[in-house]
């Protein structure tokens, strides 16, 4: 058996020949080491032989939706409580989506309740795929119909396991290009060299090989033909691999393995190996798998978000710049940061408050001494066109005197707090001085409770959004003060995923804790997601405007209710670089409103790092500078002229391009498209793009190439085509090569892709002020002299403008030296004037090779234009309404 085809038969950890062979597996240790002393980090010593028996098919029938198979177990898995009979529903749900659901037909097991996905009962008529299966042992393949490419193949690969607390399924992959399986800190392209990931939501400073704040059991794979597919395992239980037990023959020695062998730290759920192949392992629920056939990577994401929910449309102001820090101990600290930001003319839209503002760290309160005047401060922000967002944690202080703290009294009365195994309140501790209880957001009464608390607080402080943190949920104890129930299968499952701390309850709630939907063991990964759903509803009810929610913990479907920031990143060059893969991943997960704390959260930044991070962070979809207490101030104006210049210059570019970014969010909301994209999304036929994560697209038309090192240039691969530097119109006619890009001062290199029209606007201090400014369009011509683009515009804050058709949609087309702007939809009465057109790559068909004439609307000859023969950039000044068709022609 070649090493790359060995599938681990003993993922619990080190074993012996006897223990391995009792499972019917092959034992072949590395002759260079002692497996008991030196556990392998890659190739398993104990692995499944070919045609390993597990389940066989006993019955097959056709169904209206596809096929139904019944399987019976013929060989014990080695885990307690094997399920003897399984049902497999194969549903041809759409032409591009296949569902394979494997479950126990005789006993109801936990299934993920949110997000609610459609239950299709009829088969697609022209599917892009075929489903093929084997009988003994059972395995299946998903095959692309037109070219025979196998995109998922479980035949004779490892073993299908379906026990009470251990599910396992392995498959070969069509190539080594695989992305996703978050949340983790890593490169965008995942390594297939025995790489392992844990999916179990956890409050942790981001580091490689650790389970982080969110769980997204979804991956996208590029095939060798340039096509793409995606796979989603719809399961919310912990997934992973850990080694709590060391076997010596028939005896067992229990120990905390991380303390002895830190190299085993982080062994995880989803294993990718060099075959290439993947293994999913979960400790509960069912196997509910969705396959998306694309064929393009952009198609895969659209199909995935169709299933889990399309991203919400954020308010326009949320796309401005946000400023926050943990450590503004008094209100005047926040006021000082605001004042110096405005004084330095750095665009700004939102001021935030971390837990410093709270009275003794209690939700729905503010400190009447250190934050006296907070309501008036927020009113001043609103008067200046700015907005305000406070942090709100899910943990409620539980040690207050009865009648003195309504959030606890009312929650206890309603019974909406998480309970422990005995039915009493589950009591742990977060920031509260004594103790904490947690809202059970799966409880039907949690929504009115949470809405009431937010409403009451909003009557004091008119906040505009909610920052929900610590919602993995985080806990300063391992369970309750005295721990969790001992010798319980939920706390100590037979297979323990590779979670930090060596136990599931490490710095969180006990798995035996009770929630309305299920025990916490099943719904842990849903906690932050359910809080997002409830908070989204509450804000909508309170403000009657678009809700703005940023959550640390996430699960598939989060993008429909809010955005995400990538947690407590450190202030290092590496962390800044890794923020790009994180941003790309979350756009794949259908959560486009995402960003990292600019300049880092933990540790002191430096001027040079913060300068470059400010340039990059200005192009995060969610752009916020935030850092921790005890560190130096890092709001741009606090770090001197270099950082001020970079923040001001880059943010003014961002604000100028906000109409384009806003249009991309509309496309995400309406069509499920990614806002931020890797290069291969636009160039799937170019294999050189598959591993690139040092730059990124906004949509299809703007490439952002930041400086990610301490030098003044970046090295970027540019696929074949025309590219134009936004700063000076310089042309790069690439044939597919690496270019040294010298950025303009104070900004990253921005490249307009040939063939695209980008709507823009005159920047201003706030988005509120900016909305009254005239628009412009930036045109990058392709080799044929053509380009296309769109501008979506609405009032920026009302609910359901797209669904209610209260918007304007303008199309721009360039062909034969003529720009045409046409009104596709005019449903929002507003003044939209165009004041400037910038065209890159102009080639004039005349002997002089010079632009001598510009005509607007087929009659008005414009004298207000400038043409640079060297670069081919044509700038035209005009003043025309976009409410009517418009033409601009040059010769």
pLDDT band at 240 (very low <50, low <70, confident <90, very high): low
pLDDT band at 143 (very low <50, low <70, confident <90, very high): very high
Rounded to an integer, what distance in angstroms lies between the CA atom of residue 713 and that of residue 694? 12
Alpha carbon distances (Å) from 744 to 490, 563, 599, 836: 56, 31, 20, 22
The 8-class DSSP code of residue 239 comes to B
Give the list of residues 6+ apart from residue 443 with CB closer than 8 angstroms, or none.
415, 416, 515, 516
Rounded to an integer, what distance in angstroms lies between the CA atom of residue 369 and that of residue 379? 18
Count of other CB atoms within 10 angstroms of residue 783? 12
Better pLDDT: 723 or 870: 723
- Mean pLDDT check: name the lowest of 192-206, 656-670, 846-860: 846-860
Residue 859: per-residue pLDDT? 82
Q: In this predicted model, what pLDDT tens digit does every residue of 473-486 receive, in sequence order?
A: 999 999 999 999 99
Rounded to an integer, what distance in angstroms lies between the CA atom of residue 219 and that of residue 229? 9
Rounded to an integer, what distance in angstroms lies between the CA atom of residue 691 and that of residue 678? 9
Q: What mean pLDDT is predicted for residues 191-201?
A: 93
Q: Is the pLDDT of residue 258 over 60?
A: no
Kindly name the residue from 164, 349, 469, 693 that is annotated as catalytic: 469
Residue 24: per-residue pLDDT? 95
CA 591 to chain centre: 5
Residue 469 is a catalytic residue: yes
How far apart, in Å, do the first and last CA atoms of the chain sit? Answer: 70
User: What is the DSSP code string of 540-583?
Assistant: HHHHSS---EEESS--TTGGGT-EEE--S-BSSHHHHHHHHHHH
Q: Is the pLDDT of residue 253 over 70?
A: no
Q: What mean pLDDT is predicted for residues 555-566?
A: 98
Give alpha helix (H) positions in 79-213: none
Rounded to 5°, the CA angle 365-371-374 comes to 80
Residue 2: per-residue pLDDT? 87
Give the list of residues 6+ apart from residue 296 with CB closer than 8 angstroms, or none.
227, 228, 681, 684
Rounded to an integer, what distance in angstroms lies between the CA atom of residue 547 and that of residue 559? 12
Rounded to an integer, what distance in angstroms lies between the CA atom of residue 235 and that of residue 251? 33
Rounded to an integer, what distance in angstroms lies between the CA atom of residue 618 and that of residue 330? 27
Residue 121, strand partner residues: none
Rounded to an integer, what distance in angstroms lies between the CA atom of residue 784 and that of residue 342? 45
Rounded to an integer, what distance in angstroms lies between the CA atom of residue 439 and that of residue 397? 11
Residue 696, strand partner residues: 704
Q: What mean pLDDT is predicted for residues 729-757?
A: 96
Residue 254: per-residue pLDDT? 25
Alpha carbon distances (Å) from 628 to 211, 287, 324, 625: 22, 41, 9, 11
Q: Is the pLDDT of residue 792 over 70?
A: yes
CA dihedral 851, 852, 857, 858 (to 10 degrees): -120
Q: Is the pLDDT of residue 846 over 70?
A: no
858 phi-psi bin (left φ>0, alpha ψ -120 to 50, beta other): left
Q: What mean pLDDT is predicted for residues 665-686?
A: 98
Rounded to an integer, what distance in angstroms lies between the CA atom of residue 7 and that of residue 48? 6
Q: In this predicted model, what pLDDT tens digit does every residue of 759-777 receive, in sequence order?
A: 999 999 999 999 999 999 9
Mean pLDDT of the chain: 93
Q: Are 614 and 586 in contact, with CB atoms under 8 Å apart?
A: no
Burial, 412: exposed, middle or buried (Cβ in 10 Å; 0-12, 13-18, 19+)?
middle
Q: What mean pLDDT is predicted for residues 96-122?
A: 97
Residue 4: per-residue pLDDT? 87
Percentage of residues of the chain with pLDDT beyond 90 = 90
Place of tokens 């990614």: 674
Rounded to an integer, what distance in angstroms lies between the CA atom of residue 204 and that of residue 197? 15
Residue 849: per-residue pLDDT? 79
pLDDT band at 31 (very low <50, low <70, confident <90, very high): low
Rounded to an integer, what distance in angstroms lies between the CA atom of residue 171 and that of residue 154? 4
Burial, 110: exposed, middle or buried (Cβ in 10 Å; 0-12, 13-18, 19+)?
middle
Residue 848: per-residue pLDDT? 62
Per DSSP, the three-state class of 666 is: helix
Q: What mean pLDDT is predicted for residues 835-857?
A: 85
Residue-range domain boundaries for the chain = 3-308, 352-368+378-473+509-560
Q: Which numeric CATH code is attached to 352-368+378-473+509-560? A: 3.20.20.80
Residue 3: per-residue pLDDT? 87
Largest CA distance in the chain: 93
Residue 97, strand partner residues: 292
Fold classified for 3-308: Immunoglobulin-like (2.60.40)
Rounded to 5°, the CA angle 851-853-855 comes to 130
pLDDT band at 33 (very low <50, low <70, confident <90, very high): low
User: What is the DSSP code string of 220-268?
Assistant: EEE-TTS-EEEEEE---S-BB----EEEETTEEEE--HHHH-GGGTT-B
Give the list of residues 6+ apart from residue 731 with CB closer than 8 angstroms, or none.
722, 723, 724, 840, 841, 871, 872
Q: In this predicted model, what pLDDT tens digit does every residue of 495-530 receive, in sequence order?
A: 998 899 999 999 999 999 999 999 999 999 999 999
Structure tokens at 239: 């997934």
Q: What mean pLDDT is predicted for residues 346-359?
A: 98
Q: What mean pLDDT is predicted for residues 408-423?
A: 98
Residue 472 is a catalytic residue: yes
Q: Are 814 and 753 in contact, with CB atoms under 8 Å apart?
A: no
CA 769 to chain centre: 30
Helix and strand totals (H; E) in the chain? 15, 50
The 8-class DSSP code of residue 711 comes to S
Q: Is the pLDDT of residue 575 over 60?
A: yes
Per DSSP, the three-state class of 419 is: strand
Residue 866: per-residue pLDDT? 95
pTM assigned to the model: 0.95
Rounded to an integer, what distance in angstroms lies between the CA atom of residue 648 and that of residue 345? 7
- Mean pLDDT check: name the lowest of 152-166, 241-255, 298-312, 856-870: 241-255
Structure tokens at 779: 């045109």
Residue 862, strand partner residues: 854
Q: Are 361 and 431 in contact, with CB atoms under 8 Å apart?
A: yes
Closest CA to 84 of 69, 92, 74, 98: 74
Count of other CB atoms within 10 angstroms of residue 540? 14
Q: Strands 721-725 and 714-718, how do they pair? A: unpaired
Rounded to an integer, what distance in angstroms lies between the CA atom of residue 757 and that of residue 727? 16
Percentage of residues of the chain with pLDDT beyond 70 = 95
Q: Is the pLDDT of residue 166 over 50?
A: yes
pLDDT band at 245 (very low <50, low <70, confident <90, very high): very low
Residue 43: per-residue pLDDT? 87
Kindly name the residue from 186, 223, 363, 472 that is annotated as catalytic: 472
Rounded to an integer, what distance in angstroms lies between the CA atom of residue 606 and that of residue 599? 8
Q: Is the pLDDT of residue 264 over 60?
A: no
pLDDT band at 249 (very low <50, low <70, confident <90, very high): very low
Q: In this predicted model, what pLDDT tens digit does every residue of 4-21 receive, in sequence order?
A: 889 999 998 778 999 999
Alpha carbon distances (Å) from 324 to 187, 252, 464: 28, 51, 15
Residue 239: per-residue pLDDT? 84
Structure tokens at 624: 């916020």
Residue 863: per-residue pLDDT? 73
pLDDT band at 34 (very low <50, low <70, confident <90, very high): low
Structure tokens at 478: 């391992």
Structure tokens at 559: 């993008």
pLDDT band at 269 (very low <50, low <70, confident <90, very high): confident
Place of tokens 């059972």: 138
User: What is the DSSP code string of 812-832?
Assistant: EEEETTEEEEEEEEE-S----
Q: What mean pLDDT is predicted for residues 589-597?
A: 98
Angle between the N-to-C axes of helices 573-588 and 297-308, in degrees from 0 to 180, rounded to the nearest 10: 70
Q: Are 351 and 338 in contact, with CB atoms under 8 Å apart?
A: yes
CA dihedral 484, 488, 492, 493 (to 10 degrees): -140
């Amino acid at each position: 058996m070649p090493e790359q085809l060995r599938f681990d038969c003993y993922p619990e950890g080190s074993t012996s020949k006897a223990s391995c062979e009792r499972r019917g597996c092959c034992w072949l240790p590395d002759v260079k080491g002692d497996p008991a002393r030196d556990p392998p980090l890659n190739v398993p010593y104990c692995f499944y032989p070919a045609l390993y028996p597990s389940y066989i098919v006993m019955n097959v029938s056709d169904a209206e939706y596809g096929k139904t198979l019944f399987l019976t177990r013929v060989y014990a898995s080695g885990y307690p409580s094997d399920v003897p009979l399984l049902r497999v529903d194969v549903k041809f749900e759409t032409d591009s989506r296949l569902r394979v659901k494997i479950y126990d037909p005789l006993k109801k097991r936990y299934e993920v309740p949110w997000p609610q996905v459609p239950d299709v009962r009829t088969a697609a008529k022209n599917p892009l795929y075929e489903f093929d299966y084997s009988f003994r042992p059972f395995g299946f393949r998903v095959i692309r119909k037109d070219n025979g490419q196998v995109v998922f193949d479980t035949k004779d690969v490892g073993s299908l396991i379906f026990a009470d607390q251990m599910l396992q399924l392995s498959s070969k992959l069509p190539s080594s290009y695989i992305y996703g399986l978050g949340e983790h800190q890593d490169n965008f392209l995942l390594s297939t060299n025995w790489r392992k990931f844990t999916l179990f939501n956890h409050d942790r400073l981001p580091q490689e090989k650790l389970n982080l704040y969110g769980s997204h059991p979804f991956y996208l794979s590029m095939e060798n033909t340039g096509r793409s597919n995606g796979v989603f395992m719809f399961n919310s239980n912990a997934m992973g691999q850990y080694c709590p037990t060391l076997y010596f023959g028939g005896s067992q020695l229990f120990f905390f393995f991380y303390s002895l062998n830190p190299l085993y730290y982080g062994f995880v759920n989803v294993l990718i190996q060099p075959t290439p192949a993947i293994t999913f392992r979960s400790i509960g629920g069912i196997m509910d798998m969705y396959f998306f056939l694309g064929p393009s990577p952009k198609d895969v994401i659209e199909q995935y978000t169709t299933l889990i929910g399309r991203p919400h449309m954020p308010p326009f102001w949320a796309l401005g710049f946000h400023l926050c820090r943990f450590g503004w101990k008094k209100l005047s600290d926040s006021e000082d940061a605001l004042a110096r930001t405005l004084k330095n003319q750095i665009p700004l839209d939102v001021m935030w408050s971390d837990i410093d503002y709270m009275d003794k760290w209690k939700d729905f309160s503010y400190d009447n001494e250190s934050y006296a005047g907070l309501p008036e401060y927020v009113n001043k922000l609103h008067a200046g066109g700015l907005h305000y967002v406070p942090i709100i944690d899910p943990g409620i202080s539980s040690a207050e005197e009865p009648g003195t703290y309504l959030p606890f009294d009312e929650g206890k009365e309603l019974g909406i707090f998480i309970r422990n195994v005995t039915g009493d309140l589950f009591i742990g501790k977060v920031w509260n001085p004594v103790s904490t209880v947690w809202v059970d957001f799966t409880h039907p009464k949690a929504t009115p409770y949470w809405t009431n608390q937010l409403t009451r607080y909003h009557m004091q402080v008119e906040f505009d959004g909610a920052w929900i943190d610590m919602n993995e949920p985080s806990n300063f104890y391992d369970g309750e003060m005295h721990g969790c129930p001992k010798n319980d299968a939920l706390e100590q499952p037979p297979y323990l995923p590779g979670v930090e701390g060596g136990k599931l309850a490490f710095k969180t709630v006990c798995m035996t804790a009770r929630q309305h939907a299920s025990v916490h063991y099943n719904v842990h990964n849903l906690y932050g997601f359910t809080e997002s759903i409830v908070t989204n509803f509450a804000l909508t009810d309170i403000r009657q405007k678009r809700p703005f929610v940023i959550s640390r913990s996430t699960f598939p479907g989060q993008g429909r209710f809010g955005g995400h920031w990538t947690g407590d990143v450190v202030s290092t060059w590496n962390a800044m670089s890794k923020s790009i893969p994180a941003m790309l991943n979350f756009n794949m997960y259908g959560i486009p409103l995402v960003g990292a704390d600019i300049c880092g959260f933990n540790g002191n930044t430096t001027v040079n790092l913060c300068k470059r991070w400010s340039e990059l962070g200005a192009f995060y979809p969610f752009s916020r500078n935030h850092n921790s207490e005890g560190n130096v101030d890092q709001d741009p104006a606090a770090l001197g002229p270099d950082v001020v210049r970079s923040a001001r210059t880059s943010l003014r570019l961002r604000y100028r391009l906000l109409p384009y970014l806003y249009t991309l969010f509309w496309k995400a909301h309406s069509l499920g498209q990614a806002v931020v994209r890797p290069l291969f999304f636009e160039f799937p036929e170019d294999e050189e793009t598959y591993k690139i994560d040092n730059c990124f697209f906004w949509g299809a038309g703007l490439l952002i190439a930041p400086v990610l090192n301490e030098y003044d240039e970046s090295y970027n691969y540019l696929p074949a085509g025309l590219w134009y530097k936004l700063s000076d119109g310089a042309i790069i006619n690439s044939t597919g090569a690496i270019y040294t890009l010298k950025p303009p001062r104070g900004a990253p290199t921005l490249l307009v892709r040939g063939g695209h029209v980008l709507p823009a606007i005159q920047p201003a201090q706030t988005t509120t002020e900016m909305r009254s400014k005239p628009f412009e369009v930036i045109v990058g011509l392709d080799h044929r002299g053509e380009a296309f683009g769109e501008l979506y515009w609405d009032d920026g804050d009302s609910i359901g403008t797209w669904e209610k058709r209260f918007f304007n949609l303008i199309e721009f087309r360039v062909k034969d030296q003529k720009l045409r702007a046409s009104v596709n939809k005019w449903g929002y009465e507003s003044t939209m004037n165009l004041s400037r057109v910038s065209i890159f790559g102009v080639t004039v068909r005349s002997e002089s090779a010079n632009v001598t004439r510009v005509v607007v609307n087929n009659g008005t000859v414009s004298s207000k234009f400038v043409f640079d023969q060297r670069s081919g950039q044509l700038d035209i000044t005009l003043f025309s309404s976009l409410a009517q068709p418009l033409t601009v022609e040059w010769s």
